Amino acid sequence: MAEHRSMQRGALLDAARSLLSEGGTEALTFPALAERTGLARSSVYEYFRSRAAVVEELCEVDFPIWAAEVESAMARAGTPEDKVAAYVRSQLALVGDRRHRAVVAISSSELDAGAREKIRAAHGGLVAMIVEALVALGHEQPRLAAMLLQGVVDAAVRRIELGAAEDPGAITDAAVSMALRGVGR
C-alpha cells in the first residue's frame, strides 16, 4: 500500500511538472492534476492539501537535483573564470528539461513562505559557490555581483524559453561572455 501511495504521489508530482512547464503556475490546478493522473479529484486532496503544498514538495524534490547539477559542473571547472562559465552554461543547458521549466515557473510565481524558504535554501548553495569564485577573481562586491550574474542567467533562460530568433547556443555564449566581462577585473 505504501509503495502504491508513493507511486501515485510521484505521478502527481510528474503531472505537476508537466502542467507547470506547459502553462506556468496558473495551469497547476487540482482538476488538471486529477485529469492527468486519472485519479479522482478527492484523491488528489488526500496527497496534497493545497496547490502551495504541491509547489512546496516540488521545490523540495527538484531544486536540490537542479542545484546539484550546477554545482557538479562548477566543481569540475578549474579556474574561477571557468567556474563562472560553468555556472552560466549548466543552468542554461537545463532549460529544455521539464524539471528546470517547472523550477522557473515556480520561481516566477507568487509563493507561500514555505516554498520561498526551500527555494532560497537550494539557491543558497549555488550563490555560495559563485561568490567563492568571484572572491577568487578579486571582485570587490562578490555577493552583489553574484545576484546580478544570476539576473543575466535568468534573462538568458527567458530568451531561450521564448524561442527567440537566436539559437540557444548563441544565447548561452553571449550570456557567458557577458558574465565573464562583467565579473572580470
Burial of 63 (0-12, 13-18, 19+ CB in 10 A): buried
114-139: average pLDDT: 81
With contact defined as beta carbons under 8 Å apart, do 65 and 99 qualify? Answer: yes
- Would you state the torsion angle of the CA atoms of residues 146, 149, 151, 155, taken in this order, to the nearest 10 degrees? -160
**Nearest-angstrom CA–CA distance, 107 and 68:** 17
Q: What is the pLDDT of residues 145-162, one digit of tens each?
A: 998 898 898 889 888 877
**Nearest-angstrom CA–CA distance, 121 and 127:** 10
pLDDT, position 170: 94
pTM (predicted TM-score)? 0.76
**Nearest-angstrom CA–CA distance, 7 and 4:** 5
pLDDT, position 110: 62
94-105: average pLDDT: 72
| Main-chain dihedrals φ then ψ at residue 115, nearest 5 degrees | -70, -40
